[in-house]
Amino acid sequence: MKRFLLLLAALMLMMTFAIAEEEATVVPVQIIPQAEDMLYMSDAIAKANEALEVLPDNCLTRAELVQMSDGSHRWVVSIFDLTNYTDAWCIEVDALSGEVLQKTTTSYGFFVDMYARWEQAKGINALWSLEDKMLYDTLYSIQPMYSLPLETDMTHGEALEKAIAALEMTNAAEYKIGYGYMMGIGEGEVNGVWEVYFVQNDEMVYKVNLDAVTGEIYFIEPDAEENG
């Protein structure tokens, strides 16, 4: 009897792990180069177009080949309606079989379901790495803005010091700190922007945006009037 109970407990444990693995949220982790055995971009876009009931007459299509967090490879095809700039579709296509695995849509330009999926896998957006913020933006935004800082920009530590001073803090040790970086425009015409997030209990308490070169504070959220 004891042996039977031990075997039963072991089986239940294995089933628990299997269910947890099956329910794990799968998200892209990096853009990868084309391989010979993988679907070509044009074929992936064709598969995505077939998945739409109606393809907009005037649209922007972006397709990236990615490695997923479970090790699989998918094409992420994002299609944006340029007539109204609000309707958009994101279709994930298996890079080997060509099977359409997931389809997400939006009527106001922001993929809510996709964002929730990433936060489930990676936690609050404010604490995502710079690389994750850039990847998300590249895959799902009609006009990507996130990037990595240039050598001529201040470091994230220097940006944090500027943000702490702007908030008139004496100590930021009670907060988790997250960063974002928005690219500049042209050859030094407009500098990049550091975003510094102050987080407590998985909630953003403050966000400070500042010039990545001069340190000029652009805005603080919430502001002095507590406007978010």
pLDDT in tens, 161-179: 999 999 999 889 999 999 9
Tell which wins on pLDDT, 22 or 91: 91
- Residue 26, Cβ density class (10 Å: 0-12 exposed, 13-18 middle, ≥19 buried): middle
Distance in angstroms (rounded) separating the CA atoms of residues 182 and 209: 10
Res. 186: pLDDT tops 80: no
Average the pLDDT over 91-111 and give the result.
95
Res. 14: pLDDT tops 50: no
Average the pLDDT over 185-212 and give the result.
92
Predicted local distance difference test score (pLDDT) of residue 23? 52
Distance in angstroms (rounded) separating the CA atoms of residues 48 and 149: 33
Average the pLDDT over 126-143 and give the result.
97
pLDDT in tens, 35-59: 999 999 999 999 999 999 889 999 9
Distance in angstroms (rounded) separating the CA atoms of residues 145 and 96: 30
Res. 34: pLDDT tops 80: yes
Predicted local distance difference test score (pLDDT) of residue 223? 61
pLDDT-wise least confident of 141-145, 188-192, 212-216: 188-192
Predicted local distance difference test score (pLDDT) of residue 118? 97
Predicted local distance difference test score (pLDDT) of residue 24? 76
Distance in angstroms (rounded) separating the CA atoms of residues 106 and 116: 13
pLDDT in tens, 58-93: 999 999 999 999 999 999 999 999 999 999 999 999
pTM, to two decimals: 0.86
